[in-house]
Amino acid sequence: MSSWLHKARQVQLILDIPAQPATQMKDRRAALFSCFKDGTLLLDARDNQKPARFYLAPGDTFPWETFFAKMLAAWQLCDYTDLTPQFRPLKRIPQFVIDGFPAEPLENKFKILATLRKQGYFSALSARK
């Protein structure tokens, strides 16, 4: 496959992060870089603003529904290039999970991911250093 075609197929996990104290009260465009056991997220900015990497605490605003939709598309394409390692499947996720995931409320999506993680579908979350 040519490189331009491969890049066109890739699911870009660039998200719009709303202005909040963690973003110095600016809207940001960023990709999820890492997710930690305590719920903290490390984001990699894609908007050429400083800081290039920033953290969001569990209480901060993160576009989970948008992230989950893009994550699901990556799973369906079996293209995990843009997924942070914490959301790259280690083994094939059952089709019924993929089919039912979009219809679930947000809180259930977190529970489904936690269950899959416990069952070895994803690597364990690490502590923030």
pLDDT at 12 (0 to 100): 61
> What is the spatial distance between Cα 60 and Cα 53, in angstroms, rounded to a whole number?
15
Comparing C-alpha atoms, which of 40, 66, 45, 65 is closest to residue 55? 40
Whole-Å CA distances, 19 to 2, 28, 47, 74, 89: 38, 7, 13, 27, 31
User: Where do the domains of the chain lie?
Assistant: 3-56, 64-118
Claim: this prediction has a pTM higher than 0.95: no
The pLDDT tens digits of the residues spanning 110-119 come to: 999 999 999 9
Query: The tokens of 115 are what?
Result: 């269950």
pLDDT at 9 (0 to 100): 43
